[in-house]
Homo-oligomer: A and B are copies of this chain.
Amino acid sequence: MTLQALLRIELPIIQAPMAGVQGSALAISVSNAGGLGSVPCATLGPDGMREELTRIKAQTSGPFNVNFFCHKPPTPSPEREAAWRAALSPYYRELGLDVNAIATGRGRAPFDAEAADVLAEFEPAVVSFHFGLPSADLLQRVRKWGARILSSATTVDEARWLEARGADAIIAQGLEAGGHRGIFLSDDLTKQVGTLALLPQIVAAVKVPVIAAGGIVDAKTVAAAMLLGAAGVQVGTAYLLCPEATTSAVHRAALKSEAAGHTALTNLFSGGPARGITNRVMRELGSISALAPAFPLAAAAMGPLRAKAESDGSGDFSPLWCGQNVTGCKEISAAELTRELAAGFIRSQPQLLS
């Protein structure tokens, strides 16, 4: 089955769910253009979810994707938290903030029964997960209304694992991709593989359709991915400058600057490895730090620094998520960008040209 038939979409272009830089508006534009728009729900509570899903349901008749994290929440370690705050305290002093006023909260929560209940009110056509899959029980609830299940694999082993547990299609997330790595079977970052090597190996390893992600930024890279066996592509970074995205001013400025040429995997902003533009805090603490608490706990102490710096127009403490190629970022509508990307799909299918 083609990815288009599986997901009931016209164009095999998936807009990557990107928590923090987009809501329903971006997804609506993509879904209305014939692609698959995605609404990231990892950082929304039930009310936020309802609001976003009501909006998208009202503004597109096309299918859309609702995305969740499904990490295992870590046991907080007071020692690690203290070490992390100590590492950040010089910055708190510099910015005139009180390190003792850091809010403690659960932070990003994994998909749970409450989220499944809200989801059931909307019955989205596609539900995608990052960091593996939720329990079989939760997955079953999502399947009830016929939703197709997607998840990301960063290794061949993860792809096989996802297929065995019933993922309907697998996103092969190459090392070039911006944002959080979907890695879940290992914490060894040396196992992460570039898209050109990962994609054909996952295509060969599983029977379900494979969606290429990481370094897919324009029609040419879409065509290359299709040639390598992808059934479709997932694109994130290229959408970040679209007017429908909620990308912050400092983030937009960074994407348009030379700084965007140097990204790195960093765990400073959440505790989990994610690719972003190298900024001051990454340079000074090292982009991967053993001091950062486990995902998602590192975010709590970094948050106030980010907020204060951003209010002063600085991205020194912001997660400037970004893939390894920003040349596809354009300040055009997400619908137009989706159609431009789709030209690569059409180019790769000579029979569509005749």
Contact = CB atoms under 8 A, between A and B. Distances in A.
Interface of A: 156, 174-176, 190-191, 193-198, 200-201, 204, 214-217, 220-221, 223-224, 227-229, 261-265, 278, 287, 323-325, 327
B194 A215 contact: yes
B196 A194 contact: yes
Contact of A324 (B193, B227, B265): B193
Contacts of A193: 176, 324
A237 B229 CA distance: 21
A174 B191 contact: no
Contacts of A214: 194, 196-197
A201 B156 contact: no
Given A196-B195, A224-B224, A204 B327 contact: yes
A327 B224 contact: no
A200 B287 CA distance: 26
A256 B156 CA distance: 17
Contacts of A190: 262-265, 278, 287
Name which of A196, A220, A221, A223 has the most chain B CB atoms within 10 A of its CB: A196
A348 B206 CA distance: 26
B194 A261 contact: no
Given A174-B196, A196-B325, 15 more contacts: A156-B261, A176-B196, A191-B262, A194-B194, A194-B196, A194-B214, A195-B196, A196-B196, A196-B215, A196-B224, A197-B214, A200-B220, A201-B327, A224-B227, A227-B227
A268 to B, nearest CB: 13
Nearest to A186: B262
Name which of A204, A215, A220, A221 has the most chain B CB atoms within 10 A of its CB: A215
B220 A194 contact: no
Contacts of A200: 220-221, 325, 327
Name which of A198, A227, A261, A262 has the most chain B CB atoms within 10 A of its CB: A227
29 contacts: A176-B194, A176-B196, A176-B197, A190-B262, A190-B263, A190-B265, A193-B324, A194-B195, A194-B196, A194-B214, A195-B195, A195-B196, A196-B215, A196-B224, A196-B325, A197-B217, A197-B323, A197-B325, A198-B324, A200-B220, A200-B325, A200-B327, A201-B325, A201-B327, A204-B327, A220-B227, A221-B228, A224-B224, A224-B228
Nearest to A323: B197
Contacts of A228: 220-221, 224
A214 B197 CA distance: 8
Contacts of A198: 324
A292 to B, nearest CB: 16
A224 B176 CA distance: 16
A183 to B, nearest CB: 13
